[in-house]
Structure 1
Amino acid sequence: MDHSASLIQQLTLQGIRLWLAGEKLRYAGPPQRLTPDILATLKRHKADVVRYLSTTQLLPASYGQQGLWSIHQQTAEEGAYTVSLAFEITGPLNVTLLRDVFQLLVARHEALRTRLVWQDGQVWQQVDGHQRAFIEEFAAPDWDAEERQRQLTALHVRPFDLAQGPLLRTTIIQHGPQACTLLISAHHAIVDGWSSFQLLDELWCFYESLAAGRTVPLAPVSHTYADYVAWQQQMLAQNEERLWAFWRDQVGDDYPILALPSDFARPPVRSLRGVHHAFRLSSELTTRLKGVAQTQQVTLYVLLLASYQLLLQRHTGQPALMVGLPMAGRMSAAFGETIGYLTSPVVLRSEVDSTLSLAELLAQVKARTLAALDHQDYPFARLVERLNPPRDPSRPLLFQSNFVLQRPHRSQALLQTASGQQVSDLHVRMLPLPLFAGQEDIALELLETDTGLEGIFKGSADLFTSATLARMSQRWEVLLEAIAGDPQRSLATPLAALPILTPTERQQLLVEWNNTSAPFPQDRCIHHLIAAQAARTPDAIA
């Protein structure tokens, strides 16, 4: 790391901010931290620091960023690749301190000062030495919960300009002296799900420490996103052909297209608009499912993934299915705390033959999932580039369905509880804000908590209503109950015999829609009725 960058890193942990006013270096921070030694160090390295802050670096973009840049050219106005976190904050929020904290975070992480530009026939990262944090603030004292959710959704989907930036924005909405809403939004090109919660950890750590007059108890950033891109390029130089050979065989020459029955006709060009349905599976059912998984020597992840694939097969009749599995992209521990877009999906192809038993399907999914995990470093954007599958603007490439199961990050676990989290003298609670709801035809995202599994079915609004996703959720729960209710029987049962219909649907199909009885005269025999009908329509075919 550049010496000036290292110095700035150390100063940010003291709460000291640096910026340029023209060509002059300016600084601010807690008075007790601006010691004679610190000021002497700044004076000694002033020229280097000014040069660093005024410099814009042009760095290679990752394959993932290149893919997002291409998508952005077609969907820039839809905000489909925005990552947002929303919070309800109660207490005396120090807005000035919060603004300082965001500026310190932008100084700490290169990714938060990054833009994507097209130059010399390719996509580049443009990393600014200094960038002012984008923070907007307004008052909304009259919003109720419904209006707040509507406004947060509208703020969340506002588009970013990848070339102009900034790609991180913060919105503070004041509802009263002791109540506000905080919305943090970033383009997916500079953060992924993991790093958004890493950033959240640091946000509260900075705020709490500086509010108490303490040094921030974090280590300087050891590996930047630029380091990750360099690692990715070196890894591919050594392993690309081996990884490519695996994924070429895994995906195959044909690309099965998911054909779920839909509520609406598929448009010629998909819009990325989404709908969703949230649900919860009890801790009791989750525990029983873990027990079934253990008997088959598979993880809960494999069991839930296999059941999801079976649900799709039962709705489509297709044995060959392709499901995307997002990976954290942090196989190297060095990048465990790196902020940036490291995640990348792998494509899992399964053959869900309805004559297989559940135990056989679990064994197949386990083997293919483990193999995929062993080869997850191959960038999905690079795989698409080399496969060059037929493009259809009405569908996502390669897979139209997604599956995610994750354990919550530390902050996520605390903030999603009903009680929220205490930060200094503030009470902070996370607000629901579904993300990426229209990127695939359908997706299932699960979060494992101490109280069970929290889930959300997401779908394309071009194809489905939220009511349809709710039915999918209910049918999946019926399937899981059947698996967990009598494991010995369900594991040996052919997949086609496992139930997915709810009791209401069974009543409708087997009873209500088969109720074809009609009134007829009780005082006449059947042959009299037939003769009377023949007399009325003598030329009709019997």
Structure 2
Amino acid sequence: MADDHPVSPAQKRLWTLDRLHPGSPVYVVPLIYRVDGDLNVPVLERSLSEVVRRHNVLRTVFRVRSRAPRQVVLPPEPVRIPVVDVAGHLDPQAEAERLAVAEARRPFDLNAHPMIRPLLVRLAPDRHQLFLTLHHIACDGWSLHILESELSTCYRSWLAGKEPELPPMAEQYTDFTEWQAARLESPTLHRASEYWRKRLADAPASATIPADHPRPAVQSFDGSHVRFDIEPSVAERVGLLARACGATPFAVLLAAFATLIRARSGAAEAVIGTPVTYRQRESHHRMIGMFVNTVVQRLAVPETATFRELVHRARDESRSAMTHQALPFEMLVEELNPVRDPAFNPVFQLMLSYQEGELAGLALPGCKVGMVHGDTSTAKVDLSLSVTRAGGRYRGRLEYSSDLFDPATAHCIEEQFRTLLASATSDPLRSIGSLLPPD
């Protein structure tokens, strides 16, 4: 008898999108590691097999039962890592890069294939690239840290002839979905529902910024991105201003992003989606799985307010959103029942995400391991700004719909954000109006 469980609301949304856009790689998560040294492939396979055994979400498929998706957990089996040898190619590195693009763009069959797909590309006897490709329906950013840590622990231990010391799995992701399903009728959720209905009752259906091209009738999810660094001195000022306002760095970044939206759109308020992790119990922190929820930040941006005052507004808005994060975004959309338009994402079209700490990478004894950025060439919404703080530095990634924006415009937007953030944090008592470009 198959191990059959309910899906989380977030999983149901991704499953539905996969049905509406079959073959789209928009929710593929590509991890690519450059491995130089004496890589023991059998030990790597054994290590990955153990991680997949420990976390049943990685060997889950999605089947329709009574016209609804269900999680079906497959029994654990040894994981085999296909090896593609490109050493004989005229340009092995170029061939590896071609394979990386193809692998990141290759969709998952949610009905048949487990949610992790390994591939090893051999450029030379002591040079490899390891692809670990996952689907977002089975993981989030936190999960990737767990995956790296456990894979490294197993490899290191078995390479030394020892058993890995990993804590037993008291619960699985399927236990979380059962727990969450039971909470969907709780008073906490009803209070959250009431809060969001009032907060977003008269929000505009489309709150975005002017684009270079007309919006297609159907969202294609084709996209690209720009990576950038924020100057260390500006990053330091972000932290200082956050502490002075009793806020987090996210609130400062939210205020700056909202100001940027006002500068480019002229709108007096910004409506921004923000991903948050919904790991409510201690056991959730040790699981791989899709724990992300999305909350909506609705922030007025008056020209007469100072930037410091806007940071206070952003702090309060963020706290309220987090307090009421129990309502899954998917249920919020059902309750708001906005006009559905296949041309754009419901409720918000702009996103901001912030996280502390980058992926550490894999620690494989005898090998030097580095990360290579994978790219699915997709965009989930019109524009999405991600900022990661690591080692006292802020790194940014601006993902944009290539149907709407030209690359030159994306570069202009990220430059404007960096300039605005530098100006606002150097003098937080400046008015928002003085930070906006002249008409």
The verdict on a shared fold, with TM-score over 0.5 as the criterion, is: yes
Who is 1:457 aligned against? Answer: 398
1:200 aligns with 2:148: yes
Letter in 2 for 1:236: L
Tell me how far 1:393 sits from its aligned partner: 0.7
Who is 1:367 aligned against? Answer: 316
In the TM superposition, what are the counterparts of 1:165-314 in structure 2 within 5 Å? Answer: 165-238=113-186, 239-314=188-263
In the TM superposition, what are the counterparts of 1:132-151 in structure 2 within 5 Å? Answer: 132-133=78-79, 135-141=81-87, 142=89, 143=91, 145=93, 148-151=96-99
1:433–1:279 distance in 2 versus 1, CA, 3 Å = same
Who is 2:35 aligned against? Answer: 89
Q: Give the secondary-structure state (helix, strand or coil) at the position aligned to 1:189.
A: helix
Q: Give the secondary-structure state (helix, strand or coil) at the position aligned to 1:280.
A: strand
1:303-342 Cα offsets, whole Å, 9 max, x none, are: 0111011101110111232111101111322200111111
Task: Supply the distance in 1 between the matched residues of 2:176 and 2:158 (Cα, whole angstroms).
Answer: 30
In the TM superposition, what are the counterparts of 1:57-96 in structure 2 within 5 Å? Answer: 57-96=3-42
Q: TM-score, normalised by structure 2?
A: 0.95
Task: Supply the distance in 2 between the matched residues of 1:222 and 1:242 (Cα, whole angstroms).
Answer: 30
Who is 2:431 aligned against? Answer: 494
1:23-47 Cα offsets, whole Å, 9 max, x none, are: xxxxxxxxxxxxxxxxxxxxxxxxx
Q: Which runs of 5+ in 1 are unaligned?
A: 1-54, 416-420, 502-508, 510-542
1:449-475 Cα offsets, whole Å, 9 max, x none, are: 115111111101111122211111111
Letter in 1 for 2:433: A
Tell me how far 1:134 sits from its aligned partner: 5.6
Q: Give the secondary-structure state (helix, strand or coil) at the position aligned to 1:98.
A: helix
Letter in 2 for 1:58: D
1:215-269 Cα offsets, whole Å, 9 max, x none, are: 1111111121011112212222223211110111122234341242222221111
Who is 1:332 aligned against? Answer: 281
8 Å CA contact retained: 1:256, 1:320: no
8 Å CA contact retained: 1:256, 1:321: no
Tell me how far 1:357 sits from its aligned partner: 2.1
Q: Which runs of 5+ in 2 are unaligned?
A: none
1:484-518 Cα offsets, whole Å, 9 max, x none, are: 32x2xx42x321211569xxxxxxx9xxxxxxxxx
In the TM superposition, what are the counterparts of 1:353-432 in structure 2 within 5 Å? Answer: 353-408=302-357, 412=359, 414-415=360-361, 422-432=363-373
1:435–1:307 distance in 2 versus 1, CA, 3 Å = farther
Q: Give the secondary-structure state (helix, strand or coil) at the position aligned to 1:217.
A: coil
Who is 2:56 aligned against? Answer: 110
Task: Supply the distance in 2 between the matched residues of 1:199 and 1:154 (Cα, whole angstroms).
Answer: 23
1:480 aligns with 2:421: yes
Who is 2:267 aligned against? Answer: 318
What is the RMSD of the two structures over their aligned residues, measured on CA atoms? Answer: 1.9
Who is 2:384 aligned against? Answer: 443
Tell me how far 1:89 sits from its aligned partner: 0.1
Task: Supply the distance in 1 between the matched residues of 2:310 and 2:256 (Cα, whole angstroms).
Answer: 9
State how many pairs are aligned: 436
1:334–1:405 distance in 2 versus 1, CA, 3 Å = same
Task: Supply the distance in 2 between the matched residues of 1:240 and 1:255 (Cα, whole angstroms).
Answer: 24
Letter in 2 for 1:140: V
Task: Supply the distance in 2 between the matched residues of 1:474 and 1:358 (Cα, whole angstroms).
Answer: 19
Task: Supply the distance in 1 between the matched residues of 2:289 and 2:406 (Cα, whole angstroms).
Answer: 33
Tell me how far 1:292 sits from its aligned partner: 2.1
Q: Give the secondary-structure state (helix, strand or coil) at the position aligned to 2:286.
A: coil
8 Å CA contact retained: 1:152, 1:183: yes
Tell me how far 1:147 sits from its aligned partner: 5.0
Tell me how far 1:213 sits from its aligned partner: 0.8
Tell me how far 1:360 sits from its aligned partner: 2.3
Tell me how far 1:293 sits from its aligned partner: 2.3
Letter in 2 for 1:496: G
Q: Which has the higher contact order (CA 8 A, sep 6+)?
A: 2
8 Å CA contact retained: 2:208, 2:350: no
1:337–1:251 distance in 2 versus 1, CA, 3 Å = same
8 Å CA contact retained: 1:475, 1:500: no
Task: Supply the distance in 2 between the matched residues of 1:484 and 1:407 (Cα, whole angstroms).
Answer: 20
Tell me how far 1:294 sits from its aligned partner: 2.2
Task: Supply the distance in 2 between the matched residues of 1:422 and 1:109 (Cα, whole angstroms).
Answer: 20
Residue identity (%)? 27
Task: Supply the distance in 2 between the matched residues of 1:149 and 1:357 (Cα, whole angstroms).
Answer: 47
1:198–1:435 distance in 2 versus 1, CA, 3 Å = farther
Task: Supply the distance in 2 between the matched residues of 1:135 and 1:250 (Cα, whole angstroms).
Answer: 49
8 Å CA contact retained: 1:134, 1:169: no
